[in-house]
Amino acid sequence: MSWERQITIKSPQEIEIMRQAGRINAEALVAAKSIARPGVTTADLNAAAEEVLRKYGVYSPFKGYPGPTPYPASTNVSVNEELVHGIPGKRKLKEGDIVSIDCGTVYEGFVGDSAISFGVGEISESARKLLEVTEAALYAGIAQMIVGNRVGDISAAVQQYVESRGYYVTREYTGHGVGREMHEGPQVPNYGQPGRGLLLRPGMTIALEPMVLIGTPMTRVMPDMWTVRSADGSLTAHFEHTVAITENGPTILTTLDDGQSAGRNAGVQL
């Protein structure tokens, strides 16, 4: 059975465990972001995140993830035109870059999955706007994670938010259910139609992840077989949270203890 069809409902106790996974994941992202400055390599950011995971005795499900070659790191670090799945390495950050870090944490058998994008030093107005729109699109989607809504309501909210501001969402990579596996059903695209798709039920946990491009919806995979970049080389951004759907509304699980997000708009509350 393909992962898109494996939909699991979590108990409140399991959601609490996922919140712990998510909290550690947020701490790893904050640690990586905190060292980002010109001259630092993408491998350095990965190492900073890994140090947090090691402190808690947990690991990232990214490492060894099956693909054309097993994924070699605990995070994806994707710079500028790189949309997702960048392999951390020798690339040095420069003033004005925008960086996306995506990390996963397995804690007591459950996965937290989240990503942030941010600028290095002073960034251009267009880069700033892209980050703002991408993060806000994430929250627009999360606001639709209401019992009785459908997956299409989430997808359409993200798409409308992004496209009405003149940007593009990728059609090739999607959000997903998350639980004991990093990728479970349902698949949650960043485009869709309201009222369509799977009915949202309490106990579903979804990793929503708008991936936004300035110039094109088209992407290319680089020769390393993992890194995905915009086809036209234009800037891209990516934000992600793991969210539980509950009777009381959406609950973001990938936040720090004080409920703050690791993203730029830390403290956005629903």
Report the residue number, 148 or 264, with the smaller CB distance to Mg ion: 264
Instruction: Please state the closest distance from residue 125 (CB atom) to Mg ion, in A.
Output: 27
Instruction: Please state the closest distance from residue 84 (CB atom) to Mg ion, in A.
Output: 8
Instruction: Please state the closest distance from residue 121 (CB atom) to Mg ion, in A.
Output: 25
Report the residue number, 14 or 113, with the smaller CB distance to Mg ion: 113
Among 73, 106, 142, 207, binds Mg ion (CB under 5 A): 207
Report the residue number, 102 or 153, with the smaller CB distance to Mg ion: 102
Q: Report how far residue 42's alpha carbon sits from residue 52's, in angstroms, rounded to the nearest whole number.
A: 16
Report the residue number, 27 or 113, with the smaller CB distance to Mg ion: 113
Using CB under 5 A, count the residues that bind Mg ion.
Answer: 5
Q: What is the DSSP letter of 130?
A: H
Pairing of strands 211-213, 168-169: antiparallel
Residue 113 in contact with Mg ion, rule: CB under 5 A: yes
Q: Report how far residue 116's alpha carbon sits from residue 25's, in angstroms, rounded to the nearest whole number.
A: 11
- Write down the residue that tokens 């309490």 correspond to: 202
* Amino acid symbol at 146: I
Among 97, 102, 135, 153, binds Mg ion (CB under 5 A): 102
> Using CB under 5 A, which residues numbered 50 to 69 contact Mg ion?
none
Instruction: Please state the closest distance from residue 122 (CB atom) to Mg ion, in A.
Output: 27
Binding window for Mg ion (CB under 5 A); candidates: 53-61, 65-73, 195-203, 238-246:
238-246
Contacts of 237 (CB under 8 A, 6+ apart): 98, 100, 117, 130, 131, 133, 134, 135, 211, 212
Instruction: Please state the closest distance from residue 39 (CB atom) to Mg ion, in A.
Output: 26
Q: What is the DSSP letter of 200?
A: P
CB atoms near residue 61 (< 10 Å): 19
Query: What radius of gyration, in Å, describes the C-alpha atoms of the chain?
Result: 17
Q: Which residues bind Mg ion (CB under 5 A)?
A: 102, 113, 115, 207, 240
